[in-house]
Amino acid sequence: MVSTERIKFVNSLLSEAYAYVDKGDPVQASEKLYKVAEECIKTLAEHFSLEEVKVTKEKGRWTVTLLEKAVGKLVSKLGMDVELGWVEANYLHVWGFHEVKLDVEDVKRRVPMIRKLAELTEKHSTQSIP
């Protein structure tokens, strides 16, 4: 099973993202929400012992390509909520953080999909694999 510390970290990032939304800071909220999704994908990949985890250990880091491959495999195991959370987080990462083109309302609209990914991660990563 995945460490409860990882889940605590995801929830901490989510709380930070909410705080940035409340402060009206879409740039930092976007980046925190992306980090939530990224950590969720890593956590689920480790939980399900996906091949991408092994490759990451060999390379010494996660890449966007490995994350994307993991998302595809996780969708087949857990459904489209994985994809939806990942896609929205990537959108925020590019357009909210790097390009600084989104306002707080744009960010708020994407929060439910990323929160759902976090909830899915917590639910599945604390269960034993049958």
pLDDT in tens, 70-81: 999 999 999 999
Domains of the chain: 4-125 (1.20.120.330)
CB 9 within 8 A of CB 65: no
Under-50 pLDDT residues of the chain: 1
Instruction: Give the count of beta carbons closer than 10 Å to the beta carbon of residue 109.
Output: 11
pLDDT in tens, 95-120: 999 999 999 999 999 999 999 999 99
